[in-house]
């Protein structure tokens, strides 16, 4: 259903903080041309935390329109309030998205039973498939594998984006869920190894910059061509590091701006533009990659 290379797409903005919709269309066309298998719209990288509900929904609506059925679109629908997450799902149910990506509630620090209850409440109300999203580096709460396994029994919960970077989680999960439950990597540095050990795909920040390479790496890994996949990954390894020298999506936006794919590196507070040293570092990297 959602296998391969999915890009955690940035939300391009103007200097005044408004969404740059022409630039969004340009980014979507770029990913279609480069072979990206699908787009995740308004996830963490899309600055979901600082978009209003109206803007959140409008960006997803615009992304679906720009895609025009050419590739899949997963909508970021998570919130730290269960009621708000259900509201977002309901608002996006008829926009044409293919599914939802729903993050573990952040800041609240829910117990494991709370995480279970949260997702079951979402799934019971959902009309589209849900991918769970575990990123304890941002949410603090860490959804354990036994909870994922319990949630995987619900027909509307079809997969997990694991951004822990802990490859032992993959092995653990594989022993607990059925083969058709999707396990996707949300950590670019370990994404290739994740897939080579049986993961089904990536939801990638690096794919914003080198979508073709990420797509090829995923296809080789899914085909069992492990050495070829690792070779492609090694060729973009520096990007996996340099894109995260400041909080995501600060550096990806700067890189896309310097590549001429967005009109401005503007980002919403409390994030700000990268330090001069960081700008120079990522500019040197994209120059090295001839981007």
- Please report the domains of the chain, with CATH numbers, ordered by start residue: 4-236 (3.20.20.70)
Please tell me whether 44 is known to bind a ligand.
no
Is 257 a catalytic site residue? no
- Nearest CA-CA partner of 251 in 223, 224, 278: 278
Is 119 a catalytic site residue? no
- Tally helices (H) and strands (E) across the chain: 13, 8
From the candidates 72, 161, 215, 253, give the one annotated as an active-site residue: 161
In the chain, the DSSP E strands lie at: 4-8, 38-41, 72-76, 99-103, 130-134, 157-162, 182-185, 201-204
Cα-Cα end-to-end distance for the chain: 31
Angstrom distances, CA of residue 73 to CA of 9, 39, 85, 103, 146: 10, 5, 18, 16, 28
Alpha carbon distance 11, 24 (integer Å): 7
Please tell me whether 282 is known to bind a ligand.
no
User: Which residue is listed with tokens 């600055």?
Assistant: 47
pTM value?
Answer: 0.97
From the candidates 133, 215, 253, 257, give the one annotated as an active-site residue: 133
- Please report, in tens digits, the pLDDT of each residue of the chain (291 residues total): 899 999 999 999 999 999 999 999 999 999 999 999 999 999 999 999 999 999 999 999 999 999 999 999 999 999 999 999 999 999 999 999 999 999 999 999 999 999 999 999 999 999 999 999 999 999 999 999 999 999 999 999 999 999 999 999 999 999 999 999 999 999 999 999 999 999 999 999 999 999 999 999 999 999 999 999 999 999 999 999 999 999 999 999 999 999 999 999 999 999 999 999 999 999 999 999 999
């Amino acid at each position: 259903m959602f296998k391969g290379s999915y890009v955690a797409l940035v939300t391009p903005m103007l200097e005044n903080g408004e969404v740059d919709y022409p630039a969004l269309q340009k980014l979507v066309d770029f990913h279609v041309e480069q072979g990206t298998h699908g787009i995740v719209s308004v996830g963490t990288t899309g600055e979901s935390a600082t978009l209003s509900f109206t803007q959140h929904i409008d960006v997803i609506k615009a992304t679906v329109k720009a895609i025009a059925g050419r590739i899949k679109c997963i909508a970021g629908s998570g919130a730290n309030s269960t009621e708000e997450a259900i509201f977002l799902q309901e608002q996006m149910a008829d926009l044409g998205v293919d599914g939802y990506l729903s993050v573990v509630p952040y800041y609240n620090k829910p117990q494991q039973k709370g995480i279970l209850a949260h997702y079951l409440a979402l799934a019971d109300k959902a009309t589209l498939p849900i991918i769970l999203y575990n990123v304890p580096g941002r949410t603090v709460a860490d959804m354990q594998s036994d909870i994922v396994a319990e949630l995987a029994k619900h027909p509307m919960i079809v997969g997990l984006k694991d951004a822990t970077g802990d490859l032992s989680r993959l092995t653990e999960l594989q022993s607990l869920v059925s083969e058709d439950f999707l396990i996707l990597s949300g950590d670019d540095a370990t994404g290739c190894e994740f897939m080579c050990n049986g993961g089904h795909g990536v939801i990638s920040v690096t794919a914003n910059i080198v979508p073709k390479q990420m797509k090829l790496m995923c296809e080789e890994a899914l085909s069992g061509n492990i050495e070829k996949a690792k070779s492609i990954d090694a060729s973009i390894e520096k990007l996996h590091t340099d894109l995260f020298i400041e909080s995501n999506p600060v550096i990806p936006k700067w890189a896309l701006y310097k590549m001429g794919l967005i009109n401005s590196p503007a980002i919403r507070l409390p994030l700000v533009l990268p330090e001069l040293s960081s700008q120079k570092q990522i500019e040197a990297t994209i120059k090295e990659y001839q981007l």
